[in-house]
Amino acid sequence: MRWLPGGRSQDLEDRRSSGAGRGFGGGKLGLGVLLLLGILSLIFGRDLLTPFLSVGGGGTSPPVSTADPARDSAEEPMVQFVSFVLDDAQKTWEAILASQGKSYPRARLVLFRDGVDSACGFAEAAVGPFYCPGDQNVYIDLGFYEELKRRFGAPGDFAQAYVLAHEIGHHVQNVLGVDDQVRRAQQQDASARNPLSVKLELQADCFAGVWAHSTSERGLLESGDVEEAMGAASAVGDDNVQKMSRGRVVPESFTHGSSEQRMSWFNRGLRSGDPSNCNTFAN
């Protein structure tokens, strides 16, 4: 991807050396909290429960990161890259929503290491990148990008850009009220929780494709970039992740969509550049 290094976004908050905090205080979690985390996991399509089990069940504290100047320095090019993608994606959505007579309040990107407190609770890095509607922040441990390359076999800067653009897609859903609509529907019909979560995630993939379309129009894409993004979308498909972690695929437990679905919806946004073509809920 063609981009100019050298700056940090004003919407970036760096917590990598601030310590992970202690979440809910390191004490045992009550049943109500555990149930809430289970519901949030279904709503947001991410495992928000497991990171808390070691905190509540065993009485241990979540990891607390310490200052690591050498690692911070090594990660600086990546910080500047995600800053560029963050600003570019948000400018794109500002323009798109403005053309529809809507405003776009910017999300913030929080960089953390090991674990982080958010309005959605405490999360360890193992949860992966996530968006929290409660504070309108995207959270990323930059170590995930190394995992994306080594564990999932999805290298490249545009693979990394796709991940962040997907999370910004969740922010767009929050701004448009889609997130609230899905949450209400999930509460009304427990059997629809996973299918609705999949539709929400696939729409965020399509929104990531809409941004990628804009980068293509502006000549920012290089040879191989689209393939990198498609590779990342395929790598994080539920079927691929389940094969890697369980050795088998359980479609009824999908929360994000299959590799084929994720690639297809990203490609739909990429080809059209039109958010109206991203209505996963109509299919």
178-188 and 31-44 helices, crossing angle to 10°: 120
How far is residue 114's CA from residue 23's CA, in Å, rounded to a whole number?
Answer: 12
> Residue written as tokens 């790598």?
235
User: Backbone dihedral region of 85: left (phi > 0), alpha (psi from -120 to 50 degrees) or beta?
Assistant: alpha
Task: Indicate whether 248 belongs to any domain.
Answer: yes
How far is residue 239's CA from residue 224's CA, in Å, rounded to a whole number?
Answer: 24
pTM score: 0.84
Give me the pLDDT at residue 72, please.
82
Give me the pLDDT at residue 143, please.
94
User: Helix, strand or coil for residue 60?
Assistant: coil
Structure-block tokens of residue 233: 């979308």
Task: Indicate whether 259 belongs to any domain.
Answer: yes
CB 171 within 8 A of CB 16: no
Q: To the nearest 10°, report the CA torsion of 138, 14, 78, 48.
A: -40
> Residue written as tokens 């962040």?
164
β strands within the chain, DSSP E? 12-14, 108-111, 115-118, 121-124, 130-132, 137-140
Task: Indicate whether 59 belongs to any domain.
Answer: no
Task: Indicate whether 116 belongs to any domain.
Answer: yes
For β-strands 115-118 and 130-132, DSSP reports them as: unpaired
Q: 213: domain range?
A: 12-19+69-282
Task: Indicate whether 74 belongs to any domain.
Answer: yes
Give me the pLDDT at residue 70, please.
79
> Residue written as tokens 């369980």?
246
> Shortest CA distance to 141 belongs to which of 120, 121, 124?
124
Residue 110: DSSP 8-state: E
Give me the pLDDT at residue 60, please.
41
Give me the pLDDT at residue 100, please.
95
> Residue written as tokens 């529809």?
100
Name the CA radius of gyration of the chain, rounded. Answer: 18
Task: Indicate whether 241 belongs to any domain.
Answer: yes
Task: Indicate whether 32 belongs to any domain.
Answer: no
Give me the pLDDT at residue 6, please.
82
Number of structural domains the chain divides into: 1
Give me the pLDDT at residue 49, please.
54
Give me the pLDDT at residue 27, please.
35
User: Helix, strand or coil for residue 66?
Assistant: coil
Task: Indicate whether 43 belongs to any domain.
Answer: no
Distance of CA 158 to CAs 2, 24, 109, 175, 243, Å?
Answer: 10, 36, 18, 25, 24
- How long, in residues, is the chain? 283
Give, for all 283 residues of the chain, the pLDDT tens digit. Answer: 999 888 899 999 999 987 554 433 333 344 444 455 555 555 555 555 554 443 333 334 445 556 677 788 889 999 999 999 999 999 999 999 999 999 999 999 999 999 999 999 999 999 999 999 999 999 999 999 999 999 999 999 999 999 999 999 999 999 999 999 999 999 999 999 999 999 999 999 999 999 999 999 999 999 999 999 999 999 999 999 999 998 999 999 999 999 999 999 999 999 999 999 999 999 6
User: Helix, strand or coil for residue 138?
Assistant: strand
Give me the pLDDT at residue 36, please.
56
> Residue written as tokens 């690591």?
68
For β-strands 108-111 and 121-124, DSSP reports them as: unpaired
